[in-house]
Amino acid sequence: MTANLTATSAPTAVEAVDLRVTLDGACILDGVDLTVAVGEWVTIIGPNGAGKSTLLRAVGGLLPASGSVSLFGTPSAKLHRRQRARVVATVAQSPVVPPGMAVFDYVLLGRTPYMPPLGRESAADLSAVHDVLGRLDLGRFADRPLTTLSGGERQRVFLARALAQGATLLLLDEPTSALDIGNQQEVLELVDQLRRDHGLTVLATMHELSIAGEYADRLVLLAGGRMVAAGPPRAVLTEELLATHYRARVRVIDGAHGPLVVPVRGPAEQQS
Ligand SMILES: Nc1ncnc2c1ncn2[C@@H]1O[C@H](COP(=O)(O)OP(=O)(O)OP(=O)(O)O)[C@@H](O)[C@H]1O
């Protein structure tokens, strides 16, 4: 089991203990302990295949895992699907977009946990969607097919659906992977603002290390299904840890909002 990540005595949004996931006979998560305080932003980093998405999905109850997960003090196993959906919203790496579906209808899907089975949306559901579209400056896109939006606009719609769900824990799997650098910053600033305005808790995965460190309160470094480091960005984004676990040659520079990780080439003789 890896070291516990408990950093504060604040109420916890996520408490995962000895989380293990085996898929097709392969051990993908190998005993991970993770605590995320209410209102905190924790980002999971690590090389390709480290188990980042698997950890996020296990926390969200989207795949079977052994060990235990509690969400806001309630064992996740005791939450029915609809109850869990009111607490935690997941934005997948590439959400499936039903062809031709308009933005409004897509965001309305976020209200499913509040609708009776086979029932229709209520006035409160419609009002919640209008509200969230307004807050995210998406009102003008309401009738547009989602597939016609740009990557950045679409990412805002995915967040809108998660917010319409009313959940206070956001699980974001590489929320910026399809975005240019400007849109990356815009989307992450938006998440941070929503976090501050609405007391959301954020657990994300990310490959952009400098950006990960600028926005997260704490980073978790996964490698081979194990947590190999965790703590404030300055403690995790070190040249030594990144060389060991990413096999990356980098320089880490002090930035105003956290360490900045700059990839550097090796000496010329090593490149031929
Ligand atoms: N159904 C499955 N059967 C066997 N192995 C699987 C299955 N699903 C995922 N894996 C493996 O689990 C490992 C972890 O996958 P995961 O997607 O969690 O990694 P990741 O850290 O998010 O990777 P990336 O950064 O590339 O997105 C990978 O080696 C992947 O091939």
Residue 86: predicted pLDDT: 87
Asked if 44 and 19 count as a contact pair (C-beta separation under 8 A), the reply is no
Question: Which residues of 106-211 form beta strands (DSSP E)?
Answer: 169-173, 201-205
* Closest C-alpha to ligand 1, atom 5: 23
Shortest-distance Cα residue to atom 29 of ligand 1: 49
Architecture of domain 12-270: 3-Layer(aba) Sandwich (3.40)
Asked if residues 209 and 242 have their Cβ atoms less than 8 Å apart, the reply is: yes
Both tokens of residue 80?
């029915």
pLDDT at 155: 87
Element at 182 (helix H, strand E)? helix 181-198
What was the pLDDT predicted at 1? Answer: 37
Q: Is 243 helix (H, G, I), strand (E, B) or coil?
A: helix
Q: What is the pLDDT along the chain (272 residues), one digit of tens a residue?
A: 333 444 445 689 999 999 999 999 999 999 999 999 999 999 999 999 999 999 999 999 989 999 999 999 999 989 988 888 889 999 988 888 888 999 999 999 999 888 887 778 888 889 999 998 998 889 999 999 999 998 888 988 998 999 899 899 999 999 888 788 888 888 899 889 889 988 899 999 999 999 999 999 999 999 999 999 999 999 999 999 999 999 999 999 999 999 999 999 877 665 55
CB 31 within 8 A of CB 67: yes
Ligand 1 mutation target, pool 19, 23, 24, 28, most atoms within 8 A of CB: 28
CA of 27 to the centre of ligand 1 (A): 10
CA of 224 to the centre of ligand 1 (A): 10
> Ligand 1 test: best mutation among 20, 48, 54, most atoms within 8 Å of CB?
54
SS3 131: helix
Residues with CB under 6 A from ligand 1: 23-24, 26, 28, 46, 48-54
ipTM above 0.90, yes or no: yes
Q: Which region holds residue 217: left if phi is over 0, alpha if psi is between -120 and 50, else beta?
A: alpha
Nearest CA to ligand 1 atom 17: 53
CA-nearest residue for atom 13, ligand 1, is 49
245, 228 contact by CB (below 8 A): yes
Distance of CA 59 from the midpoint of ligand 1 (Å): 15
Most ligand 1 atoms within 8 A of CB, residue of 19, 21, 23 to mutate:
23
pTM of the model: 0.90
Atom of ligand 1 nearest to the CA of 28: 12
How many CB atoms are located within 10 Å of the residue 272 CB? 4
Contact by Cβ (8 Å): 169, 200: yes
CA distance 164 to 198: 13
Q: How far is CA 35 from CA 39, 70, 106, 107, 219, in A?
A: 12, 9, 32, 30, 12
